Amino acid sequence: MIYQIYPRSFADSNGDGTGDLNGVRTRLPYLRDLGVDAIWFTPWYASPLADGGYDVADYRAIDPAFGTLADAEALIAEAADLGIRTIVDVVPNHVSSEHEWFKAALAAGPGSPERARFWFREGRGEHGELPPTDWVSSFAGGTWTRVPDGQWYLHLFAAEQPDLNWNHPDVRREHEDVLRFWFDRGVAGIRVDSASMPVKDPAFPEVPETYEAGGHPFIDRDELHGIYRGWRAVADSYEEPRVLVGEIWLDDRQRFARYLRPDEMHSAFNFDFMARPWDAKELRESIQYTLDAHAPVGAPATWVLSNHDVTRPVTRYGRADSSFTFAAKRFGTPTDLASGERRARAAALLTAALPGALYVYQGDELGLPEVEDLPLDALQDPMHFRSGGVDPGRDGCRVPLPWTRSGRTFGFGPDESDAPAWLPQPAAGWGERSVEVQDSDPRSVLALYRAALVLRRSEAALRGEDFAWLDTTEAVLAFTRDDVVCVVNLGTAPVPLPDHREVLLTSTDLHGDHLPADAAAWLRT
Ligand code: NOJ
């Protein structure tokens, strides 16, 4: 079970309104008690935070807002003492425009070796006034920005995130060195950001309407596999081999699985599952699709309900069309938080019962909803700004956590300081969702997560590989894991429980021997 920490929003030890590594250190016992095996930290490196840290200025330094390298080393060691491993984020596609390499590239001018580490190109049009291609950025808008001497540089994300040229030997060498830097500090693995995007077609064609697998100018190019084989060799060179986890958004499952071959990455996030609506047919299909994709390469499946880029499950599943994973599509979709929470509880038991690795994004174990009414002037996400304000962006799932029922920042920061949290927490309801309140409530979302994670460890069936579907009606998902059955009712009426000897855990009270709508149960047969 891997718990994702967004350091900016987890716990603020020094009261400056931004979460920090010493804040995480004080909360390690909480994570141990939750049942966490590893923490994945979104980027904690020196960064102007133009994209929440995914604009790295220096991989070998911690951003002063988060602490120091010594804090990181202490955190890694203290977590390890509690049996918790650390995974750090590596962002190969781009660096910050404040990175030394990019500053040198700007200073050195066209045709310089410094520019060759990036993608500087002349523009089209009579005076080079048009960008080299019409590619569309993942954050809306174009992918090229012009510099004063007239050249354009490529950025698939924000202009503050110039793309690296992976044909350049310095880029390869540097990243392998960064891996070693963190592995040498006891880090157990890396999460590879935007892992299917770093390699570009150097001819820079437009994106064709249709193309063969591997034929897109900047997604899923075959050359990527050589890069990750090199990284795997670095990971395998340690006495306790390190792991690579890919952020790979690809619809084609054969292409997806290629990244998980035995000499490449160990696993990758399951976005297919995450993006499916609350619908039995959809989820059954995704689970089967996932297991089928992973089996041939022998990689463990992963189960992901959310992360720092998508709408919180309580909110998402509370919408009539719960396939709206991204905030951009949320306008005009009324949300029923009560049903969203019931479904998110059931989804937690569903994912925790499936074979493979489970990822939990901070705050999902508290059932936090998306904060949908952040004041416009508080928003920080470049996705919002680059969409011209059309997309609300991802800030709503990044609001600082509530640790206590009351207090200035609900225990996120110390009460004595007066700096506001970097994103405002909702005045109503946030404290009621705090760790303090849920800790002593056996019916809380937190209690459910803890109970599920205890069983996930103690039940041999849940640790193993065995998985088989049970025959059910259409709106019900049911499967066995040896002698444990997981059953989820996605319909609208209660359904009879399958035969069992013992009820291990339920997401809500049973109606006699019936499982209510939007609920899940773990049973022993
Ligand atoms: C994926 C990360 O999860 C997201 O937060 C970031 O904005 C992009 N990659 C660009 O690095």
Say if residue 118 is in the same domain as residue 259: no
Count of domains in the chain? 3
Q: Contact, 420 vs 196, CB < 8 A?
A: no
Catalytic residue status for 193: yes
Helix (H, G, I), strand (E, B) or coil at 362: coil
How many other C-beta atoms lie within 10 A of the C-beta of residue 332?
Answer: 5
- The pLDDT-based confidence of 210 (bands split at 50, 70, 90) is very high
Q: Over the stretch 335-390, which tens digit does the pLDDT of each residue have?
A: 899 999 999 999 999 999 999 999 999 999 999 999 998 999 999 999 999 988 88
The pLDDT score that the predictor gives to residue 233 is 98
Say if residue 217 is in the same domain as residue 126: no
C-alpha atoms less than 13 angstroms from C-alpha of 459 in its C-beta half-sphere: 27
Q: Over the stretch 92-127, which tens digit does the pLDDT of each residue have?
A: 999 999 999 999 999 999 999 999 999 999 999 999
Residue 161 lies in a domain: no
The percent of residues in the chain predicted with pLDDT above 90, rounded, is 95
Say if residue 144 is in the same domain as residue 228: no
Helix (H) or strand (E) holding 351: helix 337-353
Q: Which atom of ligand 1 is nearest to the CA of 54?
A: 11
- Spatial CB neighbours of 217, under 8 Å, sequence gap ≥ 6: 133, 135, 200, 201, 203, 204, 205, 206, 207
- Any atom of ligand 1 within 6 Å of the Cβ of 272: no
Determine the length of the chain: 525
Strand partners, 448: none
- Any atom of ligand 1 within 6 Å of the Cβ of 95: no
Helix (H, G, I), strand (E, B) or coil at 154: strand
Catalytic residue status for 341: no
Q: Contact, 455 vs 504, CB < 8 A?
A: yes
Among protein residues, the one whose CA lies closest to atom 5 of ligand 1: 309
Name the residue among 266, 268, 270, 269 with its Cα closest to residue 288. 270
The pLDDT score that the predictor gives to residue 329 is 53
DSSP 260-329: TSTTS-SEE--HHHHTS-S-HHHHHHHHHHHHHHHGGGTPPPEEES--TTS--HHHHTTBSSTT--SGGG
DSSP label of 420? P
Say if residue 340 is in the same domain as residue 364: yes
Compute φ and ψ for 279, nearest 5 degrees.
-155, 125
pLDDT tops 90 at residue 483? yes
Say if residue 348 is in the same domain as residue 495: no
User: Which entry of 114, 247, 364, 370 is annotated as an active-site residue?
Assistant: 247
Helix (H, G, I), strand (E, B) or coil at 198: coil
pLDDT tops 70 at residue 409? yes
Say if residue 143 is in the same domain as residue 215: no
- Any atom of ligand 1 within 6 Å of the Cβ of 163: no
Kindly report the CATH number assigned to the domain that includes residue 482: 2.60.40.1180
Helix (H, G, I), strand (E, B) or coil at 481: strand
Residue 455 lies in a domain: no
Q: Contact, 210 vs 262, CB < 8 A?
A: no
H helices of 55-206, in order, are 69-81, 100-108, 169-183
Q: Among 129, 154, 179, which residue terminates a domain? A: 154
Among protein residues, the one whose CA lies closest to atom 6 of ligand 1: 54
| Best residue among 193, 218, 219 to mutate for probing ligand 1, ranked by most atoms within 8 Å of CB | 193
Strand partners, 243: 189
C-alpha atoms less than 13 angstroms from C-alpha of 97 in its C-beta half-sphere: 14
Say if residue 234 is in the same domain as residue 375: yes
pLDDT tops 80 at residue 324? no
Helix (H) or strand (E) holding 90: strand 85-90
Q: What is the CA radius of gyration of the chain?
A: 23
User: Domain span at residue 484?
Assistant: 466-524
pTM: 0.97
